[in-house]
Structure 1
């Protein structure tokens, strides 16, 4: 039987009983036929088309009992469930609702893992919807475009379906940044005739040279995609006129040897531009894309990009798996597909069903949307990771146990810290111990050990299986170390658990041990008073210029609107327990409550001691002294200063002393920070610098 015909017959029977459903069904006919046409190009088979029709009928208002759907087989039921899950992901972007979006993403990924045709249906539908997005109102159009940019285009890219990926990206860009899209489109159109004539001439020259070399090749101008033009302009800081690949040729040859032979001909014809050659045949991209890319100075001194690949590589580049894997009804996925979607399983593995699925959304965006780096194992296997991933992330990709036992790493034969972020092409060797001993500070975002949610989740699961009392003790130790670094004493913690939706201080300690709450969040909570703590991933804004002391800096209790200054002897920072001393002619001098100078003043003249509390302190910057001690090496001072600068912290004085006998260097920095949160994050980053022994606030 024909599943598509059977589905249409069953749908027709359902529509006969509902005029409203029939009207909605007929109204969607043009869109439905367009989606079916895209599925036909992808050769997904009749079961996929059947599942599309049944799902569209449900959306129109037809109701099907589970038994009625089972008639079409488990494959069709799974394909329908995948479409339902994707509908929930849409709610994340819809202005009407956001309920169930993260769970929808989980189910959608699971459905794709079970059957690749789910993603073909989703991409085909999204492409047709984007082609018709101009008919929607502004809010729905932007929401649809954002969903496409965040979910569908990255999925098409990771699965290698570039034919759909490029059009999805361009359509999303058109509606998300309409003015920029229009400007680039006009620039392309203005010079179209001249450019096409120039490209035709360059193609003829290359075709003749390849023929003389005995290389059979198909040569054509390569269409430019507006979204990719914009990304390149942003990434490289170039003007439109400076782009190398506005003028581009695609050369298709018989096999891999012919690719390199053609490259030699191109470089013999025109001088190549250094730094613009990429060999994706020897080192394919993570989505299996293969091609040679080069840029040359072509005729008339104009730049020209040339892409060279075999016909098979080109077919794959256009349709990904659909190019060579025509799905047979009732058969499973092949080994290459299993490798392709392994990242989806990795994304979902070990994830607690009860945890907040917003973490899954964040992990999806990190692992799918971000730029990738392509790294090599010692045996030459290519591993791709999100840009910003560390060597410790790499260890966890190799195997969970390798990550847990990781003690160090070598990049291109050189030992590097676990926070090192490798670049594409680096060869990485993981150094392991015999015992699995992940460290708790690996969970902290500001320590910089892990970038991917997947690796962090593996570490978190390791510690979740530890005894609660051990976690409480570990969390207490983490917080004690943080308070010591910040030079805080006698901190009142009883009010803090409620700020993080926890019941007790012990729960807070356990959350610290598991990485669910970070020391920086607690430091920021102490500083902010009644405001909710920011999530651990929140960026720290650069500190504003120091404000003049006065009523905006402190709330002075019981003495009216007096001038106030921060005491230089102890340099209090928001969050410190403080007290005031009424000076003669300089207003109120504010000291840390444990300041020795304040204790002396309290003994000499107790009547001039007053209570003060922090008010709008977050609006100004504060001076603190930070001590950094480490084993001396070349470049240590530069590395420490770079970390401080990267944290947007201002250095206004520094003093460094070397102890040759102990081979140690002590650096005292006078800094301006915005608050405890920024100081806490900075101290953690400084402690991670190679050779640094300690980094703490100095009183």
Structure 2
């Protein structure tokens, strides 16, 4: 059995075929002018011609909605002068006749553009039409108010937001009907045509494709291409028309031997074919970099076998065998989705064969059951081509499928509502410029502010959300447009951590609080030193350690911070110190409290009037410090210590490239550091750069001085020549800077060496 073309079997493809083959593929079907402009007649036709039979109650509610809409739009017209109510009727017709929705959606389409905040309050809608209509209209207003000026830059994020805001899937479908009406009648629309096309191209076309609304998706693509590239569109359209008769003759010639052999083996089958859409053909021309005449797969053939389920695989492969016996297959183009169906349930066998005239033809082989599943959209074509990954909406979208496949579901069946909770895991909001940002559910204004910049978050005092001022604790809602308000006097507070949801905000707040704590601690230390002088008590590490232990603190920084914030009573502190000193009188003189016992001999810590000096060396195991990688200090270098946010100490050379910045911005975290000499000190890494004249044997002489004369171990050597000069980089192991100075001095005397410097 042979049927031409595909559209004979699928009603919605009639329109699709007309797009490809008619003289003007995007012409809207004509109707009686009187009927087209008579709202009442169009309403009655909508009710009577609906694919879904309306009950008497449904008809009454639809007429009531029309009467309300007609009253509100009585004196309102589109920019082209068309009565505004006709626009709403057109959307209702698309929703019912082309998308397959029912009376509830027709009611919503008729009422959707009425202002539910003033003209027709939402509570009145609930009273007149019920909660479902009211909820759909609220959802429709929410997604219609999204700022889409920059949609082309972040279309995936917009689609995610668009889908995440919806509880009732009919909101999406009515919105698609709305945009389909707009693109068919651009003269009805007030917004800029470029903005409309961008929105449809980047937002609604992928969603229509995802929902399996192939005719809607195809019409979107056709009209967008006709707007953006009219010359290319018309050229391809003309060539399709010019080759139509030849193509039909070719297809009949191609199918004749296949049909003959299939009948010969007794298979019950149907063959369909279709010409591919103009945007699809143009995409192939661009991807393959060929002209129209060189696009070999302008059309596709589908062989559908009527078969029992247990015999499906066998019958499909029998068809494949017959087709490939007649025409040579391209093994690289074989796609077997019979043995391993797609996750969507799509099952089919695709091959490309070399037909008459050495033209490649795509052939799809499947059974009636497989074709039914595919046609209903389980195998959404864009998904298995990897156009967009929407795993977190699969459950929700499957419910849309249920609506489209079962139009006779009860009017207010709960299956219309999304059962997935994944959409509540994120919120999507806009910056003042229209950029879309994603945050975890429960995120607040502070999360948004810190997401922009740490300084913005640290000085945030609130925000203007949808033109209303809100506090920093405000929880973000989908679609909010946020403008952060800042103040120079604002500083992060500890309780901010209790109402932020992002790790970035939390870590920035903690870091800023720690910075502030160090600053306060510096002031607190000065307060304590002044008080100790007033009390005639000398400051010492033992005394400070006793106070830290007494108040059950972790570090001296915590103690100084309490002094700065006046959370310790000074009279009580003086009493604690006096009791401690009295307990020490019987054991040793008070002067001994000025410092810890000093080791004798080579490892002794030198005296210093500044008790804040940190002594480092191999003998001190209890000091938490490390050497900075930016300057790699070695024993004997002039160094300083820097207290990190984590509480450790990093040792830098005073000539470190970062030293000036650290001293300028964080003076209160800088410590004086001195080395403790040790006879068994470990070797340290040092990097040298050696430059000079590229003479014979110079590299050998350099390595000899290093390894033989001074017994220095080399860890890395790299020499490069540039003309008559060489540039060498050597990493060596030395005991201290005196050892390194000796090495540099000896290397400088090697013939051919011009300069030896230590690298930072």
TM-score range, shorter chain: 0.3 to 0.5
Give the TM-score, by structure 2 length. 0.43
Give the TM-score, by structure 1 length. 0.47
**Which of the two has higher C-alpha Rg?**
2
